[in-house]
Amino acid sequence: MFCFLFATLLPFVGSAQTYTLNEQWVSCGNSCKLLDPYYSEGVSFEWTGGQKEGKAHGIGKATKYVNGKYESTYEGEYKNGIREGFGKFTHADGSVKEGYFSNGQLMGKGTMIDDDGNSYEGNFVNYRVHGNGKYKMANGSTFEGWFVADKPYTGKLTNYDGSIIYLQEGSPVEKIVEKKSDYKPKIGVRVTEYFDKEWNRCQAKGAAYYRLITYEAPNKPKGIIKDYYITGEQQGDFYAVYMDYADEGKNFFEGEANWYYKSGKLEKKCYFNNSKLNGPEISYFEDGTVQSSANYNHGVFDGTMIAYYPNGTPRIVANYDSGILKNNKYLQISEDGTAFLVYNENFIKNRDSWEYNGVNGKLIVNSDNTISLHVTPGRTVSGGIYTGFSPTGNNIISIMTHRKAKDENIVGLLFGFKDWDNYCGIFISGSQYAIQYVRNGRQLAQEKWKTSAAIESEVNTLSVVNNGNTTGIYINDEQVEEFERLRYEGSTCCVTAANQGEQTCQFDAAELSVSELVDADNLPSEYLPKQSANGGWTSSGSGFFISENGYVATNYHVIEDAKAIEVSIVRDGEWKHYQAKVVLSDKQNDLSIIKIEDSSFKPLPTIPYNFSTSIKDTGSEVFTLGYPIADVMGDEVKFTDGKISSKTGIQGDVTVYQISVPIQPGNSGGPLFDDKGCLVGITSSGLNRDYFKAENVNYAIKSSYLKALVDAMPQPVRLQTNADIANKPLTEKIKLFQGYMTYIKVK
């Protein structure tokens, strides 16, 4: 038994969305700009065509570059800087998509030809193949039916050899039973929809869940969508571009999504970019401890994925690079601390190493990552893969077999295979099994066929356990043999089938795996937790001192559910880090006061800025200091400025100002100062640009609400109002203030 010490590893993220579509206006360099729904750093455009009021307008050509490198060309129509109407996209790899654009996105009917010669004709949503259509592959295979975010979902797959596979909801079926609905919701008003336990639409009576949603057009939702348990507790909230009335699996998501336990505790948080998971995905047990953490890059794993036991120790650790499992292995740890490096064979990925078609029969790799062996009478068909397991180490080799053949036919697992002169094998036929050991062409062991009650009529799992000086043979987890450790000449695992009958027979196989025991001293370094710059903290925000003796103001959402809080400040040119605790919170107004509780903390000099509760006029100049996206932008305090855009927020919310000051994830909880250096607000949030089509619309809580919270504190705190700062230049104000700005980390 081995003991592994792991910290809880989470993607280090701020409080705001940074993983969804990034839509921005981009200058074309000729006093004209256009809207790019897929903006990233380094994007530039050239526009050839008309313009209207400084925006691309009419038929023309927009050429896109990223860091000076050509990416794509759009030829078609723009209206007021936004792609609208028919257009054609040609990409640097030669692929082409054309169809009808709405609000900058390819929506509705269109066509595609990719650089491999595959083609598609059908429906698109946000530039993705989504909806009914027909996909033709260059090898002659076709899929006709419904696609979800570029992947076949429900329909008919016709292979190049004429064989047909039916898919329903992504899985092979004998016959498709398509879900249909005659539901027609009212447009423009919030409606309530009901669902059963399996999330099938139903009537209110007998429902397990209900949904509050507003449609701005058929299947097109507007704003946030909220799901509830039928008893009234919130179950989830998310955004979507398309909502299907009959099948929840056909929905198209965009933005942040959250799910909750009935207790109100967060169950899972993730982000979608064009209906593909993008960025961190974190799941929690109901007590708030992390159940799993992973990172996605446009739909595929990218980085470290960890699953945890309820006590916080890791269960699985896997490292991915753009969807590919590094070294083809992941670390699996039992509750007693025993650890294995596990190799799971991907038949589809390694298709070329498995497929065979010849006089002996054929071996086919199926779309569900299984293989089928069709064997000619009197012949044998085999397929294998080098797994890289240690022939001398402790390991478990396993395969699941499914036979569609008469009892006299044989299926087996070969292990330690080098060639047909060096291998070991376990075989089953009917209710009997046999063991074979061949080395240097000599048959060293030939077990007689034995009957075992462990053998099932169709599906059987065959396993080999090499442990110390013994080798054990298992059928369906029941040990049938144990003998002195075998000596392996090779590291290849094979599936083999022999036909002793008079007609072609078939076997299927799946779940080929090799698990190698590892100890703490030999655990590969890539599976050990790395001490990152954030020290294991899960999120961050900003704050500022309201008193010299350690009281700090910030947003409630920065420290919400925190089990530990660290406040960092720069003193005498060096970072100092202090533990802190929550003193008082105002959840409704998103405000909290925390206090440094650390014996090493010494009171600060007199606070140099004044607190003002006077309402600022629209147009007043303001600025903020904080630590936005500190893990990327660095831990130096950042300055941004702008103006008061409005004295109220969304729907006339009087508790906040609307400001044009740019704020980023990590700015939350930072101070908002006026031009005289008076604190007038606390930065808190920004309007979601992806859904409201707004640029740089941000909000700050008015300082009067902070004062009300301070007045309610159990210990009195005097807010500074006499600092002589008004006439100092802005640069001097920033120098004086920055030592009172705090970088807050939580976990």
**Per-residue model confidence (pLDDT) at position 71:** 94
36/51 Cα distance (integer angstroms): 16
Closest to 540 in 3D by CA, of 19, 6, 10: 10
Measured distance CA(308)–CA(68) in Å, rounded: 44
pLDDT at 522: 60
CB-based contact 342:330 (threshold 8 Å): yes
Beta carbons of 154 and 169 less than 8 angstroms apart:
yes
Provide the CATH topology of domain 539-746.
Thrombin, subunit H (2.40.10)
Q: Following DSSP, what letter does each residue of 563-575 receive, concatenated?
A: S-EEEEEEETTEE
**HEC string of 91-118?**
ECCCCEEEEEEECCEEEEEEEEECCCCC
Measured between alpha carbons, how far is 19 from 256 in angstroms, rounded to an integer? 8
CB 447 within 8 A of CB 436: yes
Task: Name the strand (E) or helix (H) holding 708.
Answer: helix 703-711
Q: How many CA atoms lie within 13 A of 690 on its CB side?
A: 24
Question: Which pair of structure tokens corresponds to residue 631?
Answer: 């893990």
* CATH topology match: 24-173 vs 190-320: yes
Phi, psi values for residue 197, rounded to 5°: -65, -25
Residue-level pLDDT at 29: 82
Q: What is the pLDDT of residue 546?
A: 95
Query: Given this model, what pLDDT does residue 584 score?
Result: 93
Question: Which CATH number does the domain 190-320 belong to among 3.30.200, 2.20.110, 2.60.40, 1.10.10?
Answer: 2.20.110
Structure tokens at 451: 């009957």
Instruction: List, for the chain, all residue ranges whose pLDDT scores fall below the cut of 50.
Output: 1-17, 530-534, 629-634, 687-695
Query: pLDDT for 497-554, tens place per residue?
Result: 999 888 888 899 999 888 888 875 566 666 665 444 445 577 778 899 999 999 999 9
Pairing of strands 678-686, 610-611: parallel
Domain 24-173 is of which CATH architecture?
Single Sheet (2.20)
One CATH from 3.80.30.20, 3.40.50.10490, 2.60.120.560, 3.40.50.300 for 351-523: 2.60.120.560
153: part of which helix (H) or strand (E)?
Answer: strand 151-158
Q: Where are the domains of the chain?
A: 24-173, 190-320, 351-523, 539-746
Residue pair 32/18 in contact (Cβ under 8 Å)? The answer is no
**For residues 671 and 680, is the Cβ–Cβ distance under 8 A?**
no
The pLDDT of residue 608 is 94
Count CB neighbours of 482 within 10 A. Answer: 12
